[in-house]
Amino acid sequence: MFTELRFLRLTLLADTVSHAFCAELPSNLDNVRRYTEGYVLALWQNRLYIYTAAAVVVGIWFALNLVLKKKKIVRPVSPWRYQTVETKTYPVKEKTENVSGVKIFYGSQTGTAKGFARELAEDVKNLGLESEVIDLKDYDPDDRLSDECTSKAICVFLLATYTDGKPTENAEWFCQWLEEASTDFRYGKTYLKGLRYAVFGLGNSVYEDHYNTVGTAVDKWLWMLSGSRVMTRGQGDCNVAKSRHGSVQADFQAWKGRLLARLQALARGEKKRCSGKCKNGTCKNKKKKKQQQQQQEGAVGDAGKCSSEQKQHSSEEELVESSSEGESSGEEGPGHGSVIDMEDLGNVMNHIKKAKRKEDGEDRQKVRLAKLSNGSLTEEQEEEERREMITPALRDALTKQGYKLIGSHSGVKLCRWTKSMLRGRGGCYKHTFYGIESHRCMEATPSLACANKCVFCWRHHTNPVGTEWRWKMDPAEKILLEAVENHQSMIKQFRGVPGVRPERFEEGMAVKHCALSLVGEPIMYPEINAFLRLLHQQHISSFLVTNAQFPDEIRSLVPVTQLYVSVDASTKDSLKRIDRPLFKDFWPRFLDSLRALGEKQQRTVYRLTLVKAWNVDELKAYSELIALGQPDFIEVKGVTYCGESSASSLTMANVPWHEEVIYFVQQLANLLPDYEIACEHEHSNCLLLAHHKFKVDGEWWTWIDYERFQELIQAYEESGGAKTFSALDYMARTPSWALFGAGERGFDPADTRYQRKSKTKDISGC
Predicted structure pTM score: 0.59
* DSSP line for 183-242: H-TTT-TTTTTT-EEEEEEEE-TTSGGGTTHHHHHHHHHHHHTT-EESSPPEEEES-TTT
Radius of gyration for the chain, computed over Cα atoms and rounded to the nearest angstrom: 42
- Sign of the four-CA dihedral 287, 291, 292, 294: positive
Nearest-5° Cα angle at 641, 182 to 487: 55
* DSSP line for 497-535: -TT--HHHHHHHTS--EEEE-SSS-GGGSTTHHHHHHHH
Contact predicate 353/311, CB 8 Å = no
**pLDDT value of residue 449:** 83
* H or E element, residue 677: strand 675-681
CA dist 3 → 34, 38, 40 (Å) = 21, 17, 15
What amino acid occupies position 110? T
pLDDT tens profile 95-133:
577 888 999 999 998 889 999 999 999 999 999 999 999
Reference 154, options 227, 254, 257, 250; nearest CA is 227
How far apart CA 369 and CA 385 sit, in angstroms, is 12
**pLDDT value of residue 460:** 47
**How is residue 632 annotated by DSSP?**
S
How far apart CA 324 and CA 577 sit, in angstroms, is 33
pLDDT tens profile 668-680:
999 999 999 999 9
Residue 725, SS3?
Answer: coil
Residues of the chain predicted below pLDDT 50: 1-3, 5, 7, 17, 20-23, 25, 72-93, 275-277, 279, 281, 284-290, 292-343, 377, 383, 460-461, 645-648, 758-766
pLDDT tens profile 564-589:
998 888 888 888 887 888 888 999 99
Q: What is the largest CA-CA distance in the chain?
A: 172
User: Directed axis angle between helix 29-45 and helix 47-94, to 10°?
Assistant: 70
- Sign of the four-CA dihedral 169, 171, 177, 178: negative
Residue 361, SS3?
Answer: helix
- Please list, in sequence order, all residues whose beta carbon lies within 8 angstroms of the beta carbon of residue 59, skipping any fewer than 6 positions away: none
Contact predicate 204/237, CB 8 Å = yes
Residue 469, SS3?
Answer: coil
